Chains A and B, each alone.
Chain A
Amino acid sequence: MGAYAFSALIFAMVALAGWQISRRVAWWRLGAPAEVAWGRGLLALPRRYLVDVHHVVARDPYASRMHAVVAGGLVAASILTALAVLPPLGGSRLYWAIVALAFSVTVIGSLLVGARRYPRKPAKLSAGRFQILPFLLLAYAVGGLISAALLAWGGASAATLLPALALAAAGGLGLAYEVRRGPMRHAFAGALHLVAHPRPGRFEGRPDTALAPLDLDAPKLGAETPADLAWNRLLSYDSCIQCGRCETACPAFAAGQPLNPKRLIQDLVAGLTGDEASYAGSPYPNARPVADDTPPLARLIGEDARIHPDTLWACTTCRACVEECPMMIEHVDAIVSLRRHQTMELGLPPEKAAEPLAELRGAGEAGGRALSARTDFAAGLDLPLISVRGEADVLLWLGDGAYDLRYGRTLRALVRLMRDAGVDFAVLGAEERDTGDLARRLGDEASFQDLARKNVETLNRYRFNRIITADPHALHALRNEYRPFGGDWTVVHHTVFLLELVEAGKLAPGRLAGLSVTYHDPCYLGRYNGETEAPRALLDLIGVERREMARSGKRAMCCGGGGGAPVSDVAGERRIPDIRMGQAMETGAQVVAVACPTCTAMLEGVTGVRPEVKDVAELVLAAMETPR
Chain B
Amino acid sequence: MKIVVLLSAGLHPVSGQSILPKVEAQALRLALALGEARGRHAGPTAFPASDALGHGLPHLVHVEIPAEADPVPALVATLEADQPDLILAGRRGQGGDETGLAPYAVASRLGMALVSDAIAVERGEADGTVIVHQALPKGARRRLVVRLPAVVTVHPDAPAPRAFAYGVARRGIVETRLAPPGLPAAERLEERPYRRRPKLMRSAPACGSASERLAAAMGATSSGVANVMVNPTPEEAARAILAHLRAIGVLPPKAA
Q: Does A344 contact B (CB under 8 A)?
A: yes
Q: Are B14 and A347 in contact (CB under 8 A)?
A: no
Q: Are B166 and A344 in contact (CB under 8 A)?
A: yes
Q: Contacts of B54 on A, CB cut-off 8 Å?
A: 347
A292 to B17, CA, bound (A): 46
Q: Contacts of B244 on A, CB cut-off 8 Å?
A: none
> Given that A362-B12, A363-B12 are known contacts, is A349 also in contact with B163, CB under 8 Å in the complex?
yes
Q: Contacts of A447 on B, CB cut-off 8 Å?
A: 166
Q: Does B56 contact A (CB under 8 A)?
A: yes
Over the window 327-364 of chain A, the binary record of Cβ atoms lying under 8 Å from chain B Cβ atoms (1 yes, 0 no) is: 00000000000000001111111000111011001111
- Pick from B19, B22, B56: contact of A347, CB below 8 A: B56
> Given that A343-B163, A343-B165, A349-B163 are known contacts, is A362 also in contact with B55, CB under 8 Å in the complex?
no
Rounded to whole Å, the gap between the CB of B18 and the closest CB of chain A is: 9
A512 to B165, CA, bound (A): 52
> Given that A347-B56, A357-B163, A358-B163 are known contacts, is A363 also in contact with B15, CB under 8 Å in the complex?
yes
- Pick from A216, A345, A364, A446: contact of B15, CB below 8 A: A364
Q: Does B162 contact A (CB under 8 A)?
A: yes
> Given that A362-B12, A369-B14, A370-B14 are known contacts, is A345 also in contact with B19, CB under 8 Å in the complex?
no
Q: Contacts of B215 on A, CB cut-off 8 Å?
A: none
Q: Are B167 and A344 in contact (CB under 8 A)?
A: yes
Rounded to whole Å, the gap between the CB of B243 and the closest CB of chain A is: 37
Over the window 5-39 of chain B, the binary record of Cβ atoms lying under 8 Å from chain A Cβ atoms (1 yes, 0 no) is: 00000001011010100100000000000000000
Q: Are A363 and B14 in contact (CB under 8 A)?
A: yes
- Pick from A346, A363, A370, A371: contact of B165, CB below 8 A: A346
Rounded to whole Å, the gap between the CB of A508 and the closest CB of chain B is: 43
- Pick from B17, B55, B160, B163: contact of A363, CB below 8 A: B17
Q: Does B168 contact A (CB under 8 A)?
A: yes
Rounded to whole Å, the gap between the CB of B164 and the closest CB of chain A is: 6
Q: Does A221 contact B (CB under 8 A)?
A: yes
Over the window 35-61 of chain B, the binary record of Cβ atoms lying under 8 Å from chain A Cβ atoms (1 yes, 0 no) is: 000000000000000000011100000
Instruction: Bin the interface of chain B by size.
Output: 10 to 19
A365 to B14, CA, bound (A): 10
A119 to B205, CA, bound (A): 80
Q: Are A355 and B167 in contact (CB under 8 A)?
A: no
Rounded to whole Å, the gap between the CB of B169 and the closest CB of chain A is: 9
Q: Does A543 contact B (CB under 8 A)?
A: no
Q: Are A221 and B166 in contact (CB under 8 A)?
A: yes
Q: Contacts of B161 on A, CB cut-off 8 Å?
A: 354, 358
Q: Does A247 contact B (CB under 8 A)?
A: no
Over the window 56-73 of chain B, the binary record of Cβ atoms lying under 8 Å from chain A Cβ atoms (1 yes, 0 no) is: 100000000000000000
Q: Are A354 and B167 in contact (CB under 8 A)?
A: no
A110 to B197, CA, bound (A): 82
Residue of B nearest to A363 (CB): B15
Q: Does A368 contact B (CB under 8 A)?
A: yes
> Given that A216-B166, A358-B163 are known contacts, is A371 also in contact with B55, CB under 8 Å in the complex?
no
Instruction: Bin the interface of chain A by size.
Output: 20 to 34
Q: Are B163 and A347 in contact (CB under 8 A)?
A: yes
A364 to B17, CA, bound (A): 9
- Pick from A221, A347, A364: contact of B164, CB below 8 A: A347
Q: Contacts of B12 on A, CB cut-off 8 Å?
A: 362-363, 368
Q: Does A615 contact B (CB under 8 A)?
A: no
Q: Are A354 and B165 in contact (CB under 8 A)?
A: no
Q: Are A370 and B15 in contact (CB under 8 A)?
A: yes
A361 to B10, CA, bound (A): 13
A445 to B160, CA, bound (A): 22
A346 to B55, CA, bound (A): 10
Q: Are B166 and A444 in contact (CB under 8 A)?
A: yes
A180 to B230, CA, bound (A): 78
Rounded to whole Å, the gap between the CB of B161 and the closest CB of chain A is: 8
Q: Are A446 and B166 in contact (CB under 8 A)?
A: yes
Rounded to whole Å, the gap between the CB of B153 and the closest CB of chain A is: 21
A371 to B17, CA, bound (A): 12
Q: Are B15 and A361 in contact (CB under 8 A)?
A: no
Residue of A nearest to B166 (CB): A446
- Pick from B15, B19, B56, B164: contact of A357, CB below 8 A: B164
- Pick from B22, B56, B165: contact of A344, CB below 8 A: B165
Interface residues of A in 402-460 (CB under 8 A from B): 444-447
Q: Contacts of B163 on A, CB cut-off 8 Å?
A: 343, 347-349, 353-354, 357-358
> Given that A354-B160, A355-B160 are known contacts, is A347 also in contact with B15, CB under 8 Å in the complex?
no
Rounded to whole Å, the gap between the CB of B165 and the closest CB of chain A is: 3
Quick one: which of B19, B167, B168 has the most chain A CB within 10 A? B167
A447 to B162, CA, bound (A): 16
Q: Contacts of A445 on B, CB cut-off 8 Å?
A: 166
- Having A358-B22, A368-B15, A371-B15, one finds 5 other A-B pairs with CB under 8 Å, namely A344-B165, A344-B166, A345-B165, A347-B54, A347-B55
Q: What residues make up the interface of B, taking CB atoms closer than 8 Å to A?
A: 12, 14-15, 17, 19, 22, 54-56, 160-168
Q: What residues make up the interface of A, taking CB atoms closer than 8 Å to B?
A: 216, 220-221, 343-349, 353-355, 357-358, 361-365, 368-371, 444-447
A sample of 8 inter-chain contacts (CB < 8 A) reads A346-B165, A347-B162, A354-B160, A354-B161, A362-B12, A368-B14, A369-B14, A444-B166
Task: List the 5 closest A-B pairs by CB distance, nearest first.
Answer: A347-B165, A446-B166, A345-B167, A363-B15, A354-B163
